């Protein structure tokens, strides 16, 4: 049995979507001189590092379930498939991941209903200045391909799925969960994995930072 931690390390300098999101910074402190140390996590928000979110992120909090409404049973020991896309092929296509590329990379793989589908193209350097600007992303037909498999969780190493084509209008009419960005998926064989992802248990939010592991 192999266990793979696919959640990134949270530390100063990690990626963030825009200047709207605060920089993450740790403050080490104590409530007594030289004893009882603790940390204050400045800039810790719902999309810090690897996070899990519901479609309320796009649909609105009054129209879709919030993260606290997702039962933990739906997040533990979920059948998982990891699709490994060729980095060079994706780069040569301008970073766009298409349905044909997903089909080719998943040849011979079965997809049980309500499984987790994770895809990676070697784009998991959180400290690259190009992490968001030159990101790999999904075409519309790629999102259609994924949705047709009826997964319960969809995840990736890229933090951006939509760029020159609309894809979230397809995703947000489902009740799927989004898990991103992930790291180290290239190490995971991916054909017979079991995913466990546990977000911070916070009320009133569509998303929260999470720890995700795959047992293969």
Q: Which domain holds residue 167?
A: 3-8+46-215
Task: Grade residue 117 by pLDDT with cuts at 50, 70 and 90.
Answer: very high
Q: What is the CATH number of the domain that holds 164?
A: 3.50.30.50
128 domain-assigned? yes
120 domain-assigned? yes
Q: Indicate the pTM of the whole model.
A: 0.95
% of residues, the chain, pLDDT over 70? 100
CB 139 within 8 Å of CB 102: no
180 domain-assigned? yes
Report how many domains make up the chain: 1
18 domain-assigned? no
Q: What is the tens place of the pLDDT at every residue in 177-203?
A: 999 999 999 999 989 999 999 999 999
pLDDT attached to residue 37: 87
28 domain-assigned? no
Q: What is the tens place of the pLDDT at every residue in 129-139?
A: 999 999 999 99
């Amino acid at each position: 049995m192999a266990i793979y931690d696919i959640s990134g390390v949270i530390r100063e300098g990690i990626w963030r979507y825009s200047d709207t999101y605060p920089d993450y910074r740790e403050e080490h402190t104590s409530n007594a001189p030289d004893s009882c140390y603790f940390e204050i996590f400045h800039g810790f928000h719902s999309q810090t590092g690897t996070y899990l979110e519901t479609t309320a992120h796009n649909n609105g909090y009054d129209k879709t379930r919030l993260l606290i409404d997702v039962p933990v049973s739906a997040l533990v020991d979920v059948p998982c498939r990891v699709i490994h896309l060729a980095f060079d092929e994706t780069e040569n296509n301008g970073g766009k991941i298409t349905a044909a590329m997903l089909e080719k990379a998943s040849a011979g793989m079965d997809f049980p209903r309500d499984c987790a589908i994770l895809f990676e193209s070697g784009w998991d350097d959180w400290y690259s200045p190009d992490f968001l600007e030159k990101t790999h992303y999904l075409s519309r037909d790629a999102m259609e391909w994924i949705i047709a498999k009826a997964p319960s969780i969809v995840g990736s190493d890229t933090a951006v799925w939509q760029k020159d084509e609309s894809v979230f209008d397809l995703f947000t009419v489902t009740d799927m969960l989004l898990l991103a960005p992930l790291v180290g998926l290239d190490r995971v064989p991916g054909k017979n994995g079991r995913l466990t992802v546990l977000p911070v248990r916070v009320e009133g939010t569509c998303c929260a930072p999470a720890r995700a592991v795959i047992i293969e």
